[in-house]
Structure 1
Amino acid sequence: MSKVIVVYHSGYGHTKVVAEHVARGADATLVAIDANGDISDTDWTALNEADAIIMGAPTYMGNVSWQFKKFADATSKVWFTRGWQDKVFGGFTNSASPNGDKQVALITLQTLASQHGGIWVSLGLPPSNTKAATSNDPNNLGGSVGLLTRAPADASVDEVHKGDLATAELYGKRVSEIASRLK
């Protein structure tokens, strides 16, 4: 079994709900980036000891939140020593719109993983793109690089689309299984 950490920032709680479902699928530990963009020393140790890191952030104004970016910048100390070289990575993002430039946020996460010399895990699911498809279907937003989720701006945290949450669990499981195979 692999040790997986889901590190995420959530501004309004929607991304936290997605992170919880990713963690459920991966049997992972959650690490929340706080409102100031920080995590604890214990959290840094957990990330360093993990076999896989799944990163999550809301998409704000076409990219990850500034709190996640602050965390990403702080990983430069690990980057300098190549501490996460060959670690397995995955990523997800949530926004209110079906698109909302989420792809840019995912590429930001993928680039961070690549800068660390990590191994990126794609979503690995075909899109639900037929006329009969609904937001309750897995991968209804048609992602491939990583997990895309949507929670309308006026939705409570209990209203993240069910298909997205199911996809989150499947993605967490995929990352964990790949990390276990490579361990």
Structure 2
Amino acid sequence: MQVAILFDSGFGHTAKQAEAAAAGVESVKGVKARLFAIADGDIDWEALEASDAIIFGSPTYNGSVSARFKAVMEQSTRTAWLPQKWRNKVAAGFTNSGAMHGDKLNSLITMALFAAQHGMIWVGLDLFPGKGPEERNRVGGWLGAMAQSNDESPELSPIKSDLETAAYLGARVAEITRQLLTSAH
């Protein structure tokens, strides 16, 4: 089983979330994660189609997903949407911004709607909001994993609890995907 993580990252902070989500995916026995960094260039549409689930990730800029992520959404129209190649795949999302709120929910709604238009099955978080900076889901997201990063090196932020939230989401996606695939056979 393979879970793709299709993400954009402007300064490396969202890439850290993507790596954490991948570690969470691979914490589930028999599941492999494959990272697809949008900034690296051409998208491997066949590899995404071959994946059992896709986790989307983007920084939140000006209250929405990045321009590169939006461009990939638009490119998917002919390659994946019209032929419904992602139909019934599991999907989830994560985002990061400099502000604690930063309108990250709008980015996750954009990703969830994008997944819905592709006929995908969205998985959110089932973590109650953390009460402090050391607890998972400290930002309090339900639709996906949210992180906050200061204007500093990705080695320093997002903080450990935000990365643990992304890892938790990755593991949840892997477990739910396995359940759905097992029940289908």
Asked if these proteins are the same fold (TM beyond 0.5), I'd say yes
Runs of 4+ with >6 A deviation = none
Deviations 1:46-89 (A, max 9, x none): 10001000000000000000000000111112110111110100
Q: Does 1:156 align with 2:159?
A: no
Unpaired runs of 5+ in structure 2?
27-32
CA contact (8 A) 1:79 1:116 kept: yes
Q: Does 1:39 align with 2:39?
A: no
Counterpart of 2:159, as a letter, is H
* Cross-structure match for 2:11: 12
CA contact (8 A) 1:31 1:39 kept: no
Query: 1-side partners of 2:42 and 2:180: how far apart?
Result: 27
Q: CA RMSD in A?
A: 1.0
CA contact (8 A) 1:7 1:55 kept: yes
* Cross-structure match for 1:125: 127
* SS in structure 1 of the partner of residue 5 of structure 2: strand
* Alpha-carbon offset, residue 3 of structure 1: 1.0
* Alpha-carbon offset, residue 105 of structure 1: 0.3
Unpaired runs of 5+ in structure 1?
none
Counterpart of 1:155, as a letter, is E
* Cross-structure match for 2:29: none
Counterpart of 2:48, as a letter, is L
* Alpha-carbon offset, residue 45 of structure 1: 1.3
Query: 1-side partners of 2:124 and 2:81: how far apart?
Result: 22
Query: 2-side partners of 1:155 and 1:144: how far apart?
Result: 26
Query: 1-side partners of 2:22 and 2:47: how far apart?
Result: 14
TM (norm. structure 2) is 0.91
* Cross-structure match for 1:70: 71
* Alpha-carbon offset, residue 4 of structure 1: 0.2
Counterpart of 1:5, as a letter, is A
Query: 2-side partners of 1:64 and 1:109: how far apart?
Result: 8
Query: 1-side partners of 2:107 and 2:166: how far apart?
Result: 16
* Alpha-carbon offset, residue 23 of structure 1: 0.7
Query: 1-side partners of 2:141 and 2:174: how far apart?
Result: 19
* Alpha-carbon offset, residue 124 of structure 1: 1.2
Query: 2-side partners of 1:158 and 1:164: how far apart?
Result: 13
Query: 1-side partners of 2:84 and 2:69: how far apart?
Result: 20
* Alpha-carbon offset, residue 155 of structure 1: 1.8
Identity of aligned residues (%): 42
* Cross-structure match for 1:50: 51
Counterpart of 2:170, as a letter, is G
Query: 1-side partners of 2:136 and 2:5: how far apart?
Result: 20
Counterpart of 1:11, as a letter, is G
